[in-house]
């Protein structure tokens, strides 16, 4: 790809990435008494009239401009524990009435599994004082999680206002 409207020089991407190192090399040569050799950056500026065009191979450009959401689908980025960034559906979050929080959080997860057995083993109930949370699922993309959220909200209208998609470390199979 070529960018620019006036006279220019073409620089391979690798060269453009290495320019700062070459500039330092030129400076060190000049500082050591070799004044005849111009600084590479100054030479490029003079020859190009201040307009530089960088041509990037289409394959490399695709990698640079790829949306991170799309790259999650392409690449499995598991951490050392076998977990990766993804999404879950939070179906319970409360910090009031401390004596019954844990039981209520677990009951919410059990109600969902009773109606949707596909979430068996994917109910995560935990406490982060003073709140208790219950989250469902291991979704790699936000789109998958949103579809499941819509399904759960239709099935449980009584607490659908509390449900939402949240970013989370997920377990991958």
Distance of CA 97 to the CA centre of its chain: 37
Choice among 23-27, 45-49, 79-83, 134-138 with the minimum mean pLDDT: 23-27
- Span 151-159, average pLDDT: 94
Residue with tokens 């190009």: 48
| Angle, helix 40-48 to helix 13-31, in steps of 10 degrees | 120
Instruction: In whole angstroms, give the CA distance from residue 52 to residue 26.
Output: 20
Residue 111 has pLDDT above 70, yes or no: yes
Nearest to 109 by CA among 96, 93, 97, 95: 93
The DSSP bridge partners found for residue 128 are 131
User: Can you list the domains of the chain with their CATH numbers?
Assistant: 9-65 (no CATH), 83-171 (3.30.70)
Count Cβ atoms below 10 Å from residue 164 Cβ, excluding itself. 15
- Span 124-136, average pLDDT: 89
Residues 6+ apart with CB under 8 A from 22: 40, 41
Q: pLDDT digit string (tens) for 51-106?
A: 766 777 776 666 667 765 555 555 556 666 778 899 999 999 887 877 788 898 99
- Span 120-131, average pLDDT: 89
Distance of CA 55 to the CA centre of its chain: 27
Output the pLDDT for position 6. Answer: 39
Residues 6+ apart with CB under 8 A from 6: 49, 51
Strand pairing category for 52-55 and 9-12: parallel
Residue 164 has pLDDT above 70, yes or no: yes
147 or 27, greater pLDDT: 147
The DSSP bridge partners found for residue 123 are 136
What does the DSSP 8-state code read for residue 39?
A: P
What does the DSSP 8-state code read for residue 133?
A: E
Output the pLDDT for position 167. Answer: 94
Residue 29 has pLDDT above 80, yes or no: no
Output the pLDDT for position 69. Answer: 57
Q: What is the mean pLDDT of the chain?
A: 76
160 or 11, greater pLDDT: 160
Nearest to 92 by CA among 103, 80, 78, 83: 103
Output the pLDDT for position 3. Answer: 44
């Amino acid at each position: 790809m070529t960018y620019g409207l006036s006279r220019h020089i073409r620089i391979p991407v690798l060269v453009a990435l290495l320019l700062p190192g070459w500039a330092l090399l030129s400076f060190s040569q000049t500082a050591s008494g070799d004044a005849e050799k111009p600084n590479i950056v100054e030479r490029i500026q003079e020859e190009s009239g201040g307009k530089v065009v960088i041509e990037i191979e289409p394959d490399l450009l695709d990698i640079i401009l790829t949306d991170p959401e799309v790259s999650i689908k392409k690449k499995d980025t598991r951490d050392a524990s076998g977990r990766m960034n993804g999404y879950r559906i939070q179906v319970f979050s409360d910090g009031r009435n401390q004596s019954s929080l844990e039981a209520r959080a677990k009951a919410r997860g059990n109600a969902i599994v009773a109606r949707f057995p596909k979430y068996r083993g994917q109910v995560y109930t935990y406490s982060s004082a003073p709140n208790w949370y219950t989250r469902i699922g291991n979704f790699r993309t936000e789109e998958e999680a949103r579809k499941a959220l819509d399904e759960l909200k239709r099935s449980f209208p009584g607490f659908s206002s509390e449900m939402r998609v949240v970013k989370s470390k997920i377990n991958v199979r």
